[in-house]
Structures are given as C-alpha cells and as structure tokens.
Structure 1
Amino acid sequence: MAKAKFPEAWGLTPLEAAYLTALRPGKVVSPAALAKLHAGPLTEKSRRVSKTVAQLRRKLDPVNVEIETRWEEGWILGRAARSRLTALLAAA
C-alpha cells in the first residue's frame, strides 16, 4: 500500500502514516527498519520507535486494526488487520 492517504479523522501524524505504510502482512518490520524513518541519534531512535508504535496502536484501536508484536523481531500487520485497513481506505 504505497503512499496511501489515511482519513484525517484517524489523526495520524506523517510519521505514523509512514509506519503504517511500512507494515505489511506476512512481513515483520524490525525496530531498525522503523528507526530509519526518524531523524536524530541512534540512541534515541529505539525509544522513539516504541513510542510511535504505541501511539499508532491507540489511534487504530477504534477502527479495529491491530499491530502485532513479534518479540525480538519487530511488528507485523496481520492479514485480517491489513484486509480491514484496505476496506476502510476503500470506503473513505
């Protein structure tokens, strides 16, 4: 889903939209891959990645789109969540 436009009602920041675009079904996205979306020192990036994922989860909860954690690997958007997201974007 390249360069998807997310509904303004979701209140996503450009960074959160970039995270959501990076998440793919069946592909775990590592913290290092998401950290590349941030500017600044590497030491701060890991905390910022976790914080941004948490913020994105809170914003997606009302539309029933779940980001799954794969411990020691990263995050993934499951197939059901991706299907739900696709349907929501088609209806917008």
Structure 2
Amino acid sequence: MTPRPSYRTTKRQIAFNTASAWIVILLVCAGAVSGVQQAVDIASIVVPSMVMLIAALLGIHRVTGSMDYRAAQEHAGEAADQPGAAA
C-alpha cells in the first residue's frame, strides 16, 4: 500500500491566507484611489505579489497536488523493485 502524502497546510490556513491577501489588495487599492502616495508607490509590488500568493494557494496547488500521489507511487514501485528493500 502506497503511503498518502500529507500536507501541513490546512484548508482553514489556506482560506485565511487568501482572505488576508485580498484584504491587503483592497487596502492598497483604496489607499491609491484616495490619493495616498505611499499606497501608489507600493501598489506595483504588493498587488502582483498578493495575486501570485492567491494563485499559488488555490490554483497551482490544485494542479500539482496530484503529482505528489504519482511520485509516491513511483517511489514505492522503485523500492519494491530493489532486492532486499523493505516496502
């Protein structure tokens, strides 16, 4: 039997991080719209960074998560092929 990959990040943590990223985006955009120069200055760095954080937490993890299972199965198959190896 192949061991299942375990993840340390829970759904609650992913939701909290995603909500926090959206809050930062909204605060920076609100500051920029209201004319706060510091918000305008950091918006070009903060907004793309937060969007990538959201994409990484939601989209990229969903796509690559299944690869963990495939890698675990391949590893278990390689260990079984080696003589004297405990599976």
TM (normalized to structure 2)? 0.35
User: Which protein shows a greater Rg?
Assistant: 2
Choose between structure 1 and 2: higher strand proportion. Answer: 1
**TM-score (norm: length of structure 1):** 0.34
Larger helix percent: 2
